[in-house]
Every structure is written in C-alpha cells, then in structure tokens.
Amino acid sequence: MNVEIVEITAAELDLYASVPISFTVERVLRLEDRDGGFGGLAFVEESVDAPYRKDYDAEDEGGPAKWEYTSGRRAYFLAKDGERVLGAAAVVMDDPALHMLEGRRDLAVLWDIRVHPDARGRGIGTSLFRRAADWARERGCTQLKIETQNVNVPACRFYAAQGCELGAIHRHGYAANPAVAHEVMLLWFLSL
C-alpha cells in the first residue's frame, strides 16, 4: 500500500464524505467522581450492555458533503492509495464563528478525522493527524484542539498516543441534545 496525503478543496468534499465515520460503541469511559469531585475524577473503562452504532455524519445531518463555511481558514486532507480514498481530516483556524476556537488566533481545531474501516490500524490516522498538525503549526498556531466523547474509546486512545493531553471534561456538554445527552464531552489539546 502506497498512501499519499493530499490537500483538497471544499469543492471535493464528496470524496471526503465517501469515507465512513461510523463505528460500533462496545466500551465507554464512565466518569467517576471521588468525594463529590473534591477527590478528583477518574475514568473507568467498561463494556456497554448492548453495543450500538454511532455515526457522526448522521448526527451532523449529512456530514462533510453538507459542510458550509463562510469565514476562517481551513484545510481538508485525503489519504489515498492511488484513486482509493482511505481517510480524511479537516482542520480549522481563525474563524470567529467557531466557538471551539475560543476567539484565539493561535489555536486550530481538528474538526474531523476519519479512516475507512477496512484501512484502520495501518497508520493512516497518524499520517492524517500529523499533516493537520503541521498545517496548523505552519500558520502560527501553538495548539491543536480536538473534541471527542467518552463513548469513542478508540479515539481517546488515539489522541493520547499522538501526544495530546486531555484538557477539559464537560459531563453536560451535550445536555441540549437528548439523543447524546448521556455522552461526556472530552477536549484534547496538542502543543504545536
């Protein structure tokens, strides 16, 4: 396999969207507080009673093919083996409308990263992650921020392996959305 990471334009997001992002939730990181939180917080990894599919694109009402941006700087990357698209990543910076950027011009957000299920475990995600981080660094960013959830244990392990630090835990981050209100928002940061 000869994987190449290429940058694409927003006009090519249909190729990006061809990479599925769904996965089976089999394990979760249950947040456990000690002494009402005064004794700290801990994650306990445990199996779910009934595994289920999580599909970020379905939750996002269409995913990448429907993304619309009007400001800010962004880049989209594909991991390709010849014409076959194996993975994709999107990174955003300098967008005042994106609350995740906290109004900072030195912060970039890894908006999305995905690897085709048939190609997972081959280093493609790492290559995409590094390319997104390099893009942000080359533009003067000092940190890369990534959001995931406690139901995505493989992603949490991946970000930790990439050198990210868990910077924030928001146990009620999705309270406004009943379908995912049980999930805990996790914000990871990579110093660039």
Quick: pLDDT tens for 103-135: 999 999 999 999 999 999 999 999 999 999 999
- Total residues found in the chain within this entry: 192
Q: Given a cut of 80, is residue 61 above it in pLDDT?
A: no
Averaged pLDDT score across all residues of the chain: 94
Q: Give, in degrees to the nearest 5, the angle at Cα 164 between 163 and 169.
A: 155
Does the reported pTM lie above 0.85? yes
Q: CA separation (Å) from 130 to 31, 139, 155, 182?
A: 29, 14, 15, 31
Task: Identify whether the C-beta of residue 154 lies closer than 8 Å to the C-beta of residue 110.
Answer: no
Say how far apart CA 43 and CA 31 lie, in whole Å.
5
- Whether domain 3-191 has CATH 3.40.630.30: the reply is yes
Q: Given a cut of 70, is residue 69 above it in pLDDT?
A: no
